[in-house]
């Protein structure tokens, strides 16, 4: 009986160790007001790891997740909702309910627990797999799906998914079927825009030696970059975001950004990240700056964007609707921030139509 729950115990301990005391119970927090008005011709995207782990991996999350959904719904009523939301760790039924409350018409889910990678293992990968540890969840199979979701106010014309193979995961992270989710959106008057969401392997929180988690991270970065390059056409606008788990680790920084450069995606570079550009250009209000700076220094959550010509999208501004809370702990152990991008308009007769700011009647997406 104990063996059946041992991986859950390790995962629960890792969650507690990385989230900080008191983070698990974020009850009765006041709604955070929408931060700033934005240009009508800016496309906005938010990335947010909502810590939607099921019990017993995380405790006391229902209230916090409910408030996240309620705040997104309130932002919509006020005309401040992000056009696109990238969620990570949206595992639990309550996390799915959070997305439902937010009122987005179109929803894409990442790899489920059954999806498998077609990537071939080389000799080094096989040697890596031979050292997999059952007591750290590396031989237990996929207990969870990827936890990835994309919420969109724009229609989704196609979805591509990739699950990381067993030789590209380490420790308790192997219990979730982490990978990559691409939703190709149709923005009226603007053409297709590909949205990419991902969540990469943790470092020390994976509960295996660091060199093992580092190797898994490097393999994930390389596989992801190649997958994106092969599924997003040249000449198509793209936004990539998620919980990259890079941090201040120079080896991870090198592995991640080198992989994208080698795959012909040079817009994925540290100085071109959306929050970093907003801070450098003072494109945020004074009240949001400390939370945005915290998110940047955390080094886990990133957003990159390119135009159809491959050049980085211009950042209009950024703000943090899910950051520090005046009367309690944050709603997650990550901050959720929004970047507003200036989108180039195609020369067509149809005008560009940015997403409606009105509340949506009912729900049009099938949220499981």
Q: What is the pLDDT of residues 214-245, one digit of tens each?
A: 999 999 999 999 999 999 999 999 999 999 99
Gap between the Cα atoms of 223 and 66, Å rounded:
34
pLDDT for res 323: 97
What pTM was computed for the model?
0.86
Helix (H, G, I), strand (E, B) or coil at 38: coil
Gap between the Cα atoms of 54 and 143, Å rounded:
11
105 exposed, middle or buried (CB, 10 Å; 0-12, 13-18, 19+)? Answer: middle
Structure tokens at 112: 């489920």
Map out the domains of the chain as residue ranges.
Answer: 2-22+42-342
Domain 2-22+42-342, architecture per CATH:
4-Layer Sandwich (3.60)
pLDDT for res 191: 84
Structure tokens at 71: 């705040």
pLDDT for res 25: 29
Give strand ranges (E) for 269-354: 301-306, 314-322, 336-342
pLDDT per residue as tens, the chain (368 positions): 334 444 444 444 344 333 333 322 222 333 454 444 445 678 999 999 999 987 767 777 999 999 999 999 999 999 999 999 999 999 989 899 998 899 999 999 999 999 999 899 999 999 999 999 998 989 988 999 999 999 999 999 999 999 999 999 999 999 999 999 999 999 877 789 999 999 999 999 999 999 999 999 999 999 999 999 999 999 999 999 999 999 999 999 999 999 999 999 999 999 999 999 999 999 998 889 999 999 999 999 999 999 999 999 999 999 999 999 988 899 999 999 999 999 766 554 444 455 554 444 333 444 54
């Amino acid at each position: 009986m104990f063996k059946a729950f041992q991986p859950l115990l390790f995962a629960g301990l890792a969650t507690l160790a990385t989230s900080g005391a008191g983070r698990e119970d974020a009850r009765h927090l006041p709604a955070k007001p929408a931060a700033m008005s934005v240009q009508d011709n800016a496309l906005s995207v938010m990335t947010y790891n909502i810590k939607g782990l099921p019990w017993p991996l995380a405790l006391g999350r229902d209230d916090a997740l409910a408030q996240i959904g309620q705040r997104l719904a309130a932002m919509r009523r006020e005309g401040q909702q992000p056009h696109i939301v990238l969620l990570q760790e949206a595992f639990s039924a309550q996390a799915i309910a959070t997305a439902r409350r937010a009122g987005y018409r179109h929803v894409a889910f990442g790899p489920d627990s059954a999806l498998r990678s077609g990537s071939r293992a080389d000799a080094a990968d096989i040697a890596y797999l031979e050292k997999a540890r059952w007591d750290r969840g590396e031989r237990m199979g996929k207990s969870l799906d990827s936890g990835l979701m994309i919420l969109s106010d724009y229609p989704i014309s196609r979805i591509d998914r990739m699950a990381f193979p067993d030789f590209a995961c380490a420790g308790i992270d192997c219990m979730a079927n982490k990978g990559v989710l691409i939703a190709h959106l149709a923005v009226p008057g603007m053409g297709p825009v590909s949205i990419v969401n991902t969540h990469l392997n943790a470092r020390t929180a994976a509960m295996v030696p660091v060199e093992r988690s580092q190797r898994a991270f490097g393999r994930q970065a390389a596989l992801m970059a190649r997958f994106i390059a092969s599924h997003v056409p040249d000449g198509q606008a793209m936004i990539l975001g998620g919980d990259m788990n890079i941090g201040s680790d120079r080896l991870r920084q090198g592995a991640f950004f080198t992989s994208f450069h080698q795959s012909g995606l040079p817009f994925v570079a540290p100085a071109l990240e959306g929050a970093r550009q907003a801070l450098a250009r003072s494109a945020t209000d004074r009240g949001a700056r400390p939370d945005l700076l915290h998110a940047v220094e955390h080094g886990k959550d990133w957003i990159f964007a390119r135009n159809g010509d491959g050049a980085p999208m211009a950042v209009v501004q950024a703000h943090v609707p899910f950051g520090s809370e005046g009367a309690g702990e944050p709603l997650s152990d990550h901050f959720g921030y929004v970047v507003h991008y200036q989108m180039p308009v195609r020369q067509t007769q149809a005008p560009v139509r940015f997403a409606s700011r009105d509340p949506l009647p009912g729900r049009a997406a099938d949220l499981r």
